[in-house]
Chain A
């Protein structure tokens, strides 16, 4: 019965990706590739002003243009109660303006036409009467006396303050600072950036006028959640809404929220009875969709004379834009920023945060990051380096002195997290060894004598991912639990349906490998389906490095559920008791008689053809996973730079990245994720920035102004790994998609500051353009 078994390509195998077969042929199916019969095209008119009263819209000339089917305004949307919608943070957001515009690029009107060129032509013909108002572009301006009130439509809103949020213990932290031998502080601004996936956002909304069925093809990282949001926004019955995320050309957080364009296109399709396609151009993407960061932070560390950390105090102002639309768990106003004590055994800590409305685009998303962990990691790792220099200890030695040690896990942090597992010293030791730290320090000292500036920067980050346990983690009240459904067919081939949505992470390959590991079916015999809300179990989607911690766990658990049934079937086929059946790599054998065996394929066939009396037919199951805790990936990154003091130009010589993400399912894919994060981290440190002039004009509205790293600037990466499994995850994995974006910006900046510290430079805010570096050197020289 049992054939000779070949090795199962489960966990730990660098299986080449199944999804690549379509992508390398140009046969992916991205949103703009979808064409439906009778489809119309939508273009959006956006405000040139950051803050202006809307006195009126004259769309008659646009309406008269041949090929224009309709012009949609806020007034029309208001008639259907759709002019405003809820945000993922419980605020409201305008879909189309009815009263005033609140940021440059806000949606003012939409044209539906038979051709995309005509739709854009018609935008030029719409005459809007704006009355400009005073503009607020920073938290400082937002809180100033007499500042223009941005959200005047909100009842009870009398200023631009959104929330005050605290974490940790203020009293004990104040005491620690009062008793400190030394206090080191750092003020730093983490600038606004943008995830900029290479594919912009868009949708094709197809509402069938006969049945009321709404199928919306959408660039979404979370189709099931979005279906529920649509039901709540539009009042449509949820069973008649189908959200389909086709192939997604990168997300990085940008494709989590619901944008006005999706809602307008759906409303237009409903009203016109035709499918409506809307595809953003790059400028629309950069000026109106989910931005990242924009945190003004102040950090202080209390220390004993010997360099032991005794307390941490961080306060921040968050610039949220015109609507509070952060995509994050409801309970936490600044995401998981309170992980800010990082990898260190911090006896006490206190975080205080205030959010402000400004006349800037809304939608603070975590750009390849788990809910503001990047800002926290940057704060602590920059502060640690400055503190080490202030007290005169080498930054590596200072970290060793204060790391949470291996035997302290599970570790309860001062702000309430329970870190699952870690070996921070082990990861740093490997990074130091790989980069040749001691030798580099000697070379650095020699180079300094010659006037050459070499910098060595470290970052020993701890992430917090995999949200999350139902007690604390929900979005709009929906618990952040995820599902996996597995069906094994009679021939032993399987379909796995998952609630997370890949945007390049390779789910169609890795999730099949988890099933392969648990059931012994080869990954190429397992089809992974995702992205269609009609045909996948419920879940909250892919972002915040949560797919492996949540859906990966659900996949392992549903596989085990099927394995339990398969064992019963095997016992029936082998005519022994279930207790006498052993399982390994797809073979069920009889204890003590290993030649008596059946394969998982034999068992799958029996599940439909030869099952015992009293057993249900089939080999299928579904599992929803409620994580018992979050997971805490970590690592140490070491960056070596050279800085030209005359020009401020700096160049990266080495990047060594040691990551510990627990068990690696597909090492090739994990390495690819780390490469990508290190590149995006470099972009954030060196060049990416969205800024605004005093009138609220967005600077960074295209890829000529918003700079992204190309292959030419991007450093080469040297990777290393340690493996400390998560003790609570079924396969010991922790998630890795974002570690490198979270950990690396501080390493790049620390390296530049390390080079410049002897000159007196203490901080430069990102991005570290050569002009800013040069100015910092000049300012330090001037004393």
Chain B
């Protein structure tokens, strides 16, 4: 089937089998390997992308279901070469270790912040409860998402500073 998906702001077309999973469409056809597959059963959230702005698990959707819709992957978080505040905050707060869950975590976190710019710890934990991390124990992921919310509220001048520091 011929489909067209708006991926990270640009229209991408592909001729795919109807059974091809969205995760594989993104990884294999579009070459965006930041979206990972961890469990195949919708449990772990490593494959999370935003579909029309909402987080979904791309291992449990067919690529053809995304026809005519808008997909944001981790590669689309970067804006004009600048890190999204959530990317900067994950580094600053040590919110990642092996990095495999990180794209899904950041996308889920960014979707939460779009709706709720100042979430409580419990609200963050509930929002990311469909994304499993085996390395961090979640403490610093929660901190990173909350810090990103604060940085976004403070505006772009503040967020630029959060990228380095050691």
The interface of chain A, by Cβ under 8 A from chain B, is 9, 13-17, 19-28, 30, 32-33, 117, 196-200, 247-250, 252, 281-283, 503-506, 668-669, 671-672, 675-680, 702-704, 708, 710-712, 714, 716-717
Q: Do the beta carbons of A198 and B44 come within 8 Å of each other?
A: yes
- From B63-71, B72-80, B152-160, the one touching the partner chain is B72-80
Complex CA–CA separation, A252 to B135 (angstroms): 9
Q: Mark B29-46, 1 if CB is under 8 A from A, else 0.
A: 000111111111101101
Chain A CB within 8 A of B125 CB: yes
Known: A197-B134, A200-B38, A282-B40. Is A503-B126 also a contact (CB below 8 A)?
Answer: no
Smallest beta-carbon distance B57→chain A, Å: 12
Smallest beta-carbon distance A286→chain B, Å: 10
Chain A CB within 8 A of B87 CB: yes
Chain B neighbourhood of A704, CB < 8 A: 41, 43
Chain B neighbourhood of A712, CB < 8 A: 125-126, 129
Q: Do the beta carbons of B100 and A198 come within 8 Å of each other?
A: yes
Known: A16-B166, A704-B41. Is A197-B94 also a contact (CB below 8 A)?
Answer: no
Q: Do the beta carbons of A16 and B134 come within 8 Å of each other?
A: no
A to B CB contacts below 8 Å, 11 in the list: A9-B166, A17-B94, A23-B96, A25-B87, A197-B134, A198-B46, A200-B38, A250-B98, A672-B135, A676-B137, A711-B142
Complex CA–CA separation, A28 to B100 (angstroms): 8
Interface size class of B (residues with CB under 8 A): 35 or more
Known: A26-B33, A679-B137, A708-B134. Is A702-B41 also a contact (CB below 8 A)?
Answer: yes
Chain A neighbourhood of B33, CB < 8 A: 26, 30, 32-33
Q: Which 7 A-B pairs have the closest CB atoms?
A: A26-B34, A23-B99, A504-B98, A249-B100, A26-B74, A675-B137, A679-B137
Chain B 112-164 interface residues, beta-carbon cutoff 8 Å to A:
124-126, 128-142, 164
Smallest beta-carbon distance B65→chain A, Å: 17
The interface of chain B, by Cβ under 8 A from chain A, is 17, 19-20, 27, 32-41, 43-44, 46, 73-75, 77-78, 83, 87-88, 90-92, 94, 96-103, 106, 124-126, 128-142, 164-166
Q: Do the beta carbons of B137 and A16 come within 8 Å of each other?
A: no
Known: A17-B94, A712-B129. Is A703-B20 also a contact (CB below 8 A)?
Answer: no
Q: Do the beta carbons of A199 and B39 come within 8 Å of each other?
A: no
Partner of A702, one of B34, B39, B73: B39
Q: Do the beta carbons of A25 and B100 come within 8 Å of each other?
A: no
Chain A neighbourhood of B96, CB < 8 A: 20, 23-24
Residue of A nearest to B43 (CB): A703
Complex CA–CA separation, A198 to B105 (angstroms): 13
Most chain B CB neighbours (cut-off 10 Å) among A9, A14, A281, A714: A714
Smallest beta-carbon distance A172→chain B, Å: 42
Q: Do the beta carbons of A503 and B98 come within 8 Å of each other?
A: yes
Complex CA–CA separation, A680 to B33 (angstroms): 27
Chain B neighbourhood of A247, CB < 8 A: 98-99
Q: Do the beta carbons of A24 and B97 come within 8 Å of each other?
A: no
Complex CA–CA separation, A714 to B124 (angstroms): 13
Complex CA–CA separation, A717 to B142 (angstroms): 12
Complex CA–CA separation, A727 to B105 (angstroms): 41
Complex CA–CA separation, A30 to B33 (angstroms): 9
Most chain A CB neighbours (cut-off 10 Å) among B74, B102, B135, B164: B135
Smallest beta-carbon distance B107→chain A, Å: 10
Partner of A717, one of B27, B137, B166: B137
Chain B neighbourhood of A26, CB < 8 A: 32-35, 73-75, 77, 103
Residue of B nearest to A23 (CB): B99
Complex CA–CA separation, A25 to B35 (angstroms): 11
Smallest beta-carbon distance B113→chain A, Å: 16
Q: Do the beta carbons of A20 and B20 come within 8 Å of each other?
A: no
Smallest beta-carbon distance A150→chain B, Å: 30
Q: Do the beta carbons of A282 and B98 come within 8 Å of each other?
A: no
Smallest beta-carbon distance B50→chain A, Å: 13
Complex CA–CA separation, A678 to B83 (angstroms): 31
Q: Do the beta carbons of A675 and B139 come within 8 Å of each other?
A: yes
Chain B neighbourhood of A200, CB < 8 A: 38
A13-B166, A25-B34, A702-B43 known; 14 new pairs, CB 8 Å cut-off, are A20-B91, A20-B99, A28-B100, A30-B100, A32-B27, A117-B17, A199-B36, A247-B98, A250-B100, A282-B44, A283-B40, A675-B137, A675-B138, A676-B134
Question: At the interface, is chain A mostly helix, strand, loop or mixed?
Answer: loop
Complex CA–CA separation, A672 to B125 (angstroms): 17
Q: Do the beta carbons of B139 and A717 come within 8 Å of each other?
A: yes
Partner of A199, one of B77, B87, B98: B98
Chain A neighbourhood of B166, CB < 8 A: 9, 13-16
Chain B neighbourhood of A196, CB < 8 A: 134
Complex CA–CA separation, A672 to B140 (angstroms): 8
Known: A25-B87, A32-B37, A198-B134. Is A117-B20 also a contact (CB below 8 A)?
Answer: yes
Complex CA–CA separation, A672 to B19 (angstroms): 40
Partner of A24, one of B40, B106, B165: B106
Residue of B nearest to A281 (CB): B40
Smallest beta-carbon distance A749→chain B, Å: 18
Most chain A CB neighbours (cut-off 10 Å) among B20, B36, B137: B137
Chain B neighbourhood of A708, CB < 8 A: 132, 134
Chain A neighbourhood of B103, CB < 8 A: 26
Chain B neighbourhood of A33, CB < 8 A: 33
Smallest beta-carbon distance B165→chain A, Å: 7
Residue of B nearest to A668 (CB): B94
Smallest beta-carbon distance B159→chain A, Å: 14
Complex CA–CA separation, A677 to B135 (angstroms): 8
Q: Do the beta carbons of B94 and A21 come within 8 Å of each other?
A: no
Q: Do the beta carbons of A504 and B132 come within 8 Å of each other?
A: no
Known: A25-B75, A672-B140. Is A711-B129 also a contact (CB below 8 A)?
Answer: yes
Partner of A504, one of B35, B106, B135: B135
Residue of B nearest to A707 (CB): B43
Q: Do the beta carbons of A16 and B43 come within 8 Å of each other?
A: no
Complex CA–CA separation, A680 to B134 (angstroms): 7
Q: Do the beta carbons of B133 and A198 come within 8 Å of each other?
A: yes
Chain B neighbourhood of A676, CB < 8 A: 97, 134-137
Most chain A CB neighbours (cut-off 10 Å) among B35, B43, B129, B165: B43
Complex CA–CA separation, A614 to B133 (angstroms): 56
Complex CA–CA separation, A23 to B94 (angstroms): 12
Smallest beta-carbon distance A501→chain B, Å: 12
Most chain B CB neighbours (cut-off 10 Å) among A197, A704, A710, A711: A711
Q: Do the beta carbons of A198 and B101 come within 8 Å of each other?
A: yes
Chain B neighbourhood of A677, CB < 8 A: 137
Chain B neighbourhood of A24, CB < 8 A: 83, 87-88, 90-91, 96, 99, 102, 106
Partner of B98, one of A13, A249, A679: A249
Chain B neighbourhood of A32, CB < 8 A: 27, 33, 36-37
Chain A neighbourhood of B134, CB < 8 A: 196-198, 250, 252, 676, 680, 708
Partner of B91, one of A16, A680, A710, A714: A16
Smallest beta-carbon distance A41→chain B, Å: 11
Complex CA–CA separation, A281 to B43 (angstroms): 13
Smallest beta-carbon distance B48→chain A, Å: 12
Q: Do the beta carbons of A703 and B132 come within 8 Å of each other?
A: yes
